[in-house]
Amino acid sequence: MSTVGGSHFWGPVLALWQRDMVRFLRQKNRIIGALGAPLVFWVLIGSGVGPGFRLPGWPADMTYLAYFFPGTVVLILLFTAVFSTISVIEDRREGFLQGVLVAPVAPEAIVLGKLLGGTTLAVGQALLFCLAAPLAGVPLDAAVLARLLPALFVVGFALTGLGFLVAWPLESTQVFPAIMNVLIMPLWLLSGALFPAAADSWMRYAVAVNPVAYGTAAVRRAFYGDGAPLGLVAGYGLALSVSVVFAAVMFALCVWMVRRRRGTV
């Protein structure tokens, strides 16, 4: 399948993906931005909370640094994914996007190329951070990786879609930090990344309907398996399934948005 309804598909997908890779490698400071902030979070918050902080039911040998590790992985996915979609705003402002919009490219291809670009960067950065797992006493072997990779990919894709959805209608990058703080960070804070929601608080319900919480659960279960009592919303299988649905819904919404804002289909 190279064309859909007279529009090209895989060529443009590859081209858009490739461009994101080249651009990323040429802007080295983006690597520091997306990887550095979560790393600082992890070290400072993780060490600050320290060994005194313990919730009932946690495995005795799990430090907070280890508990917080998968949450940090999700934060890296979130930061990289969302920051990579800021380029959509730049592309619109600088004019690159208009060249894409007038080309015979299916809206699905525009979205897929852009989301795969963001996903690749997000998964790459998250994996880079995962190299530090053994230092924190977090298990990292073939079995963990086999569970982790699909989880990173699906969650990264969904979060890039979320960022794309926010970025597409914006005219300038100035409002982006505000949206980041009001919408995106709460999604992460309420995902069980930083702390498990207490069983009898309102937060439990907020976590249960937060799609990012299932992403966090999938990543955490990828490291620790389904046995550990981690106060999570779901086991690995359910968490991954919900994340796949989340990703699919984001993709569909992005396509809808591109169709709508392009003027004509």
Partner 1 sequence: MTVHPVETDRLRRVFGARVALDDVSFAVREGEVFGLLGPNGGGKTTLFRILSTMLAPSGGAARICGHDVERAAPAVRSCLGVVFQSPSLDPHLTVAENLRYGGNLYGLRGAPLEARMRETTEALRVADRWSERVKTLSGGLQRRVEIAKSLLPRPRLLLMDEPSTGLDPVARVDLWSIIGQLRAESAMTVVLTTHLMDEAARCDRAAILHQGKLMACDTPEALCGMIGADVLTLTGREPDRLAGRLQAEFGWAASVHDGAVRVEVPRAHEQVARIVEAFPGEILAVTAGRPTLEDVFVRLTGERLGEPFLEKAGGRRKRR
Is the CB of 12 or the CB of 215 nearer to partner 1? Answer: 12
7 binds partner 1 (CB under 8 A): yes
Instruction: Quickly tell me which residue has 């080249």 as its tokens.
Output: 22
Q: Given candidates 21, 32, 44, 103, which one binds partner 1 under the rule CB under 8 A?
A: 103
Provide the token pair at 255.
Answer: 């396509």
In whole angstroms, the minimum distance from the beta carbon of 25 to partner 1 comes to 10
In whole angstroms, the minimum distance from the beta carbon of 136 to partner 1 comes to 36
Phi and psi at residue 142, in whole multiples of 5°?
A: -60, -40
Using N-to-C axis directions, what is the helix angle for 236-262 and 142-167, rounded to 10°?
A: 30
Those residues with Cβ within 8 angstroms of residue 180's Cβ, 6 or more apart along the chain or in another chain: 82
Provide the token pair at 14.
Answer: 């590859």
Number of chain residues interacting with partner 1 (CB under 8 A)? 35
* 12 to 51: interface string for partner 1, x by CB under 8 A: x-xxx-xx--xx--xx------------------------
Phi and psi at residue 199, in whole multiples of 5°?
A: -60, -30
Selection from 265, 254, 263 nearest residue 111 by Cα:
254
Find residue 144's DSSP bridge partners. Answer: none
In whole angstroms, the minimum distance from the beta carbon of 6 to partner 1 comes to 4
Is the CB of 91 or the CB of 192 nearer to partner 1? Answer: 91
Q: What residue type is assigned to position 173 of the chain?
A: T
Q: Given candidates 44, 185, 252, 265, which one binds partner 1 under the rule CB under 8 A?
A: 265
State the residues that interact with partner 1 by CB under 8 A. 2-3, 5-8, 11-12, 14-16, 18-19, 22-23, 26-27, 91, 94-106, 262-265
